[in-house]
Amino acid sequence: MAIIAPSLLAADFLHLGKACDMLNESEAAWFHLDVMDGSFVPNISFGLPIIEQIRKATTKICDVHLMIVQPEKYIEAFKKAGADILTVHYEACPNLLETLSQIKAQGMKAGVAINPDTDVQVLNDIITEIDVVCVMSVFPGFGGQKFIEHTYEKVAALKNSIQLKGAHTLIEIDGGVTEQNAHALILAGADVLVAGTTVFKAPDPLKSIAQLRSF
Ligand code: DX5
Ligand code: ZN
């Protein structure tokens, strides 16, 4: 059974309380929260005050995905806002190992996201230090984009490296996940599926979450 992480980015921002209520009732285990700074990615989403409110309203694990430059500056702030998992981008961290250990020192799980054009091999030597690898299956910045097919090969290679090192790292897929590609992603080795559009634009979001989880 997959871990499903619906992405708040696709929710109705006028009714975030409703999104939390729906999610609390659902079979999703995580809530994926996309923070964008207009610098690392060409879009701006939401930040600390929204996450603080979501934390109060959700019973789920808050999975915060930072698409920001210099994420190391905000580790404590996101912990205080309520993050359980804090994911930084490989491409934004000149001293990734140090950043990961700072995240863990704050009592959070540490995630590393990699862009579609970043090779998974770059994480080989540090894989045992990473709790979650977030494989971007679209270029980060916007919801509702088309899934990049090359992702399957990356997931398989990553799974291989995780198993070779005896690591317990989870593989999360972020971008363009649908009820059509979810099964193949799980077969390729994915553990966690982020889904924004598929869940929040569905006629029945609870059913869509249950369907994604069943693979
Ligand atoms: C993209 C974000 C994704 C996005 C996924 O930059 O990181 O989490 O919300 O949205 P969908 O599922 O709509 O592709
Ligand atoms: Zn994300």
How many A from CA of 98 to the centre of ligand 2? Answer: 22
pLDDT at 130: 98
Instruction: Compute the mean pLDDT over every residue in the chain, rounded to the nearest whole number.
Output: 98
DSSP structural state of residue 154: H
How many A from CA of 34 to the centre of ligand 2? Answer: 5
What is the per-residue pLDDT across 125-152, written as a single tens digit (0 to 9) for each?
999 999 999 999 999 999 999 999 999 9
**CB distance 177 to ligand 1 below 6 Å:** yes
**CB distance 145 to ligand 1 below 6 Å:** yes
- Concatenating the DSSP letter of every residue in the chain gives --EEEEBGGGS-GGGHHHHHHHHHHSS--EEEEEEEBSSSSS-B---HHHHHHHHHH--SEEEEEEESSSGGGGHHHHHHHT-SEEEEEGGG-TTHHHHHHHHHHTT-EEEEEE-TTS-GGGGGGGGGG-SEEEEESS-TT-SSPPPPTTHHHHHHHHHHHHHHTT---EEEEESS--TTTHHHHHHHT--EEEESHHHHTSSSHHHHHHHHHT-
CB contact at 8 A, 112 and 134: yes
How many A from CA of 174 to the centre of ligand 1? Answer: 6
Return all residues near 176 (Cβ < 8 A) that are at least 6 apart: 137, 138, 145, 146, 147, 148
**CB distance 34 to ligand 1 below 6 Å:** yes
What is the per-residue pLDDT across 171-190, written as a single tens digit (0 to 9) for each?
999 999 999 999 999 999 99
pLDDT at 166: 98
What is the per-residue pLDDT across 102-115, written as a single tens digit (0 to 9) for each?
999 999 999 999 99
Active-site entry in 63, 131, 174, 191: 174
204 is known as an active-site residue: no
CATH class of 3-213: alpha beta
**CB distance 172 to ligand 1 below 6 Å:** no
What is the per-residue pLDDT across 25-83, written as a single tens digit (0 to 9) for each?
999 999 999 999 999 999 999 999 999 999 999 999 999 999 999 999 999 999 999 99
pLDDT at 208: 98
Active-site entry in 34, 63, 131, 191: 34
34 is known as an active-site residue: yes
Domains of the chain: which residue ranges?
A: 3-213
When pLDDT is cut at 50, 70 and 90, the band that residue 7 belongs to is: very high
pLDDT at 97: 98
When pLDDT is cut at 50, 70 and 90, the band that residue 21 belongs to is: very high
